[in-house]
Structure 1
Amino acid sequence: MSRQPFALLVAGPTASGKSALALGLAGHLGGAIINADSMQIYAGLEVLTAQPSAQEQARAPHRLYGVRDPAEAASVAWWRGQALAELASARAAGRLPILCGGTGLYFRSLTEGIAPVPEIPPHAREEARALLAEKGPAALHALLAAADPETAARLRPSDSQRLARAFEVWRGTGRGLASWQREPGTGPARLGGVPWRFAALRLDPPRDALRAAIRQRWEAMLRAGAVEEVRALVARRLDPALPAMRAHGVPELSALLAGRLTPEQAGERACLVTGQYTKRQATWFRHQPLAAPSETHTIHARVAGMEQFSERERGEIFSFVRSRVDGGGEGA
Structure 2
Amino acid sequence: MSVATRDMAVHSPRSGNQALLIAGPTASGKSALALALAEQVGGVVINTDSMQVYRDLRIITARPTADEEARVSHRLYGHVDAAVNFSAGSWVSDAAAALSEACAENRLPIFVGGSGLYFKALTRGLSAVPPIPADIRDGVRARLEQNGVEALHAELRKRDPESAERLKPRDRTRIARALEVVEATGRSLTDWHRDGLPPLLPPGEFTALFLAPEREALYARIDARFEAMLAASALQEVIALAARRLDPLLPAMKAHGVPALIRHLNGELTLQQAAEIGRADTRHYAKRQFTWFRHQLPEFEWVAPEAAREWLSAVIPRASA
Q: TM-score, normalised by structure 2?
A: 0.87
Q: How has the CA–CA distance of structure 1 residues 70 and 201 changed in structure 2, closer, same or farther, with 3 Å as cutoff? A: same
Verify the 8 A CA contact 1:204 1:299 in the aligned structure 2.
yes
In 2, Cα distance between equivalents of 1:213 and 1:137: 36
1:168-183 map, 5 Å: 168-183=180-195
Tell me if 1:317 matches 2:309: no
Query: Which residue of 236, 258, 279 maps to 1:250?
Result: 258
Q: How has the CA–CA distance of structure 1 residues 154 and 197 changed in structure 2, closer, same or farther, with 3 Å as cutoff? A: farther
Identity percentage of aligned residues? 50
Partner of 2:197: 186
In 1, Cα distance between equivalents of 2:230 and 2:147: 32
**One-letter code aligned to 2:284:** Q
Partner of 2:10: none
Count the aligned residue pairs: 308
Query: Which residue of 279, 301, 304 maps to 1:271?
Result: 279
Verify the 8 A CA contact 1:10 1:98 in the aligned structure 2.
yes
Q: How has the CA–CA distance of structure 1 residues 271 and 114 changed in structure 2, closer, same or farther, with 3 Å as cutoff? A: same
For residues 298-317 of structure 1, the C-alpha deviation after alignment (integer angstroms, 9 at most, x for no partner) is 123xx4xxxxx37xx63332
Q: How has the CA–CA distance of structure 1 residues 315 and 277 changed in structure 2, closer, same or farther, with 3 Å as cutoff? A: closer
Q: How has the CA–CA distance of structure 1 residues 216 and 62 changed in structure 2, closer, same or farther, with 3 Å as cutoff? A: same
In 2, Cα distance between equivalents of 1:27 and 1:108: 26
**One-letter code aligned to 1:315:** E
Query: Which residue of 272, 278, 288 maps to 1:280?
Result: 288
For residues 42-69 of structure 1, the C-alpha deviation after alignment (integer angstroms, 9 at most, x for no partner) is 0121001110011211221111100001
Verify the 8 A CA contact 1:188 1:195 in the aligned structure 2.
no
Question: Once superposed, which parts of structure 1, at least 4 consecutive aligned residues long, lie more than 6 Å away?
Answer: none
**One-letter code aligned to 1:319:** A
- How far has the Cα of 1:189 moved from its partner? 1.5
In 1, Cα distance between equivalents of 2:318 and 2:149: 46
In 1, Cα distance between equivalents of 2:165 and 2:203: 33
Verify the 8 A CA contact 1:240 1:246 in the aligned structure 2.
yes
Higher RCO, 1 vs 2 (CA within 8 Å, ≥6 residues apart): 1
Tell me if 1:226 matches 2:234: yes
Q: How has the CA–CA distance of structure 1 residues 136 and 270 changed in structure 2, closer, same or farther, with 3 Å as cutoff? A: farther
Instruction: Answer with 127-136 or 58-67: which moved more.
Output: 127-136
Q: How has the CA–CA distance of structure 1 residues 166 and 4 changed in structure 2, closer, same or farther, with 3 Å as cutoff? A: farther
In 1, Cα distance between equivalents of 2:157 and 2:84: 27
For residues 62-84 of structure 1, the C-alpha deviation after alignment (integer angstroms, 9 at most, x for no partner) is 11100001011111111101001
For residues 82-120 of structure 1, the C-alpha deviation after alignment (integer angstroms, 9 at most, x for no partner) is 001001111122210011111111112221211221221
